[in-house]
Structure 1
Amino acid sequence: MDNNPRIAPARAAKITILPTAEEASQFVAERLVTLVQAKPACRLGLATGQTPRRVYAKLVAAVQEGKVSFAEVETINLDEYCGLGQSHLDSFAAYMHRELFSGAGFDPSKINLIDGAAADETAEAARYAALVRSRPADLQLLGIGTNGHIGFNEPGSPATSRVRVVELSQETLDANQPTLLELDRVPKHAITMGIADILDAREIVVLATGTAKAEAIRKSLSGQQDEACPASLLGAHGNVHWVLDEGAAKLL
């Protein structure tokens, strides 16, 4: 671990608290639609997991209603399990196609995903790192783990970290176990964008819902940037919008 991370002074966070997860998801979906309408060829950084599912369903609906087109949008994804090819049901690549890409008309040539089944994981991380750094995301969508992780940047991840292979914490393994469709156990390693990659985005939107996220949200928004709570490092960024439901915000 880098013992001398370059952590910028904390900046005031923009926080929107809505009554329900449904309303919070609608708020985030509308922000994404507004961005794409204004900049059709933007680059979106996308997240997986339970939290963004509602957002993606609303984006698909917006396309079907003729409100927006994602045909020119380029995407990058935060992370992927090691050992899973893009057709594996439990891969994040498959999740993205299932939840968003297939229904929202994304151009396959503009979708950038990590190859979790790459024979050389370090080389794949290097390839993806170069791609991520070639153009900053116009907006990076994030969720947050109960231990404060963003992407698969677990507690202790340096603020200067870039795309790399990581070992997942037991808390993360336990949290992701119920989401599996085919595997018996969650893979123990993944390739993830680093904290520094996330901070390169022009705009960051963090969506958090449910009381299970409340303590992580409290730590993240305490004003103290601490690698023990990776999401707190977002305080170094000047354009972060936290969108919470009342459950996630209950300790603020």
Structure 2
Amino acid sequence: MVDSSVAEPRLELYKQLDINAKEERRLQVLALWDYYSEVICEVATTYLGLSKDLKDKNLQQQWTRSRNRLIQLSSFSSEGDYEKAIGELHEIRNATFHDYENWPPIDPIQTIRGEAEDFREWLISYGEIYDRKVNELDARETMIRIAERNIEGVLHIEVPFEEPFKSTVTDKRDEAKELQRELNSIKDGDEISMKLLNILVDSMQYQEDSCQAREYANHVGYVLSEVAEPEVSPKQFDL
């Protein structure tokens, strides 16, 4: 059983820090990262059947693996504020802790903090539902549902500006649309066919490739912004 106050000390630490002090705000980002990571890992290893080494993954990977279990529930949806909060926290943390002079923005941090308790209650609730119903799930319907969610994830991911990542995500979107058509053509069957297995595997690979390209693009964009030459002022040359 996961305690309803799991990871609460992380929020207590956040509260002790001043968000208006830029150095302390960096530490608040780490406190929130640890909070969301602990909540996800505790629910995932207690209710979702994931192994303890999940904590060795980054936050986005922890969430993706947990979500892939929960989407087997017909009532589950990860769209909206929680999904956005985790994605933004992942990006803010990476930007912040790869540069000791990066001062994270206040507004997103406050929003992510504001979602924290509700996210914990929501995730624990779905974890408990999954734990009760896992043995009742129909294998074929579950495979179709997972493939559908993976395809939706690829179709809705933000396309990067940078190449070759832009082309990768665009290509995966096109492939996901074709995969969606194939999946729709076999949804009315009653057997777990090799075609369904291939669609499921492909959908997982497309989602992984797209998310990886998006993450790499974010990192490259950040690096380029750091090494870009500063604008030259005419005053520097007495012009």
Pairwise TM-score range, normalised by the shorter structure? under 0.3
- Choose 1 or 2 for highest CA Rg: 2
TM-score (norm: length of structure 2): 0.24
Please give the TM-score of this superposition, normalised by the length of structure 1: 0.24
The structure in which a higher percent of residues are helix is 2
- The structure carrying a bigger strand percent of its residues is 1
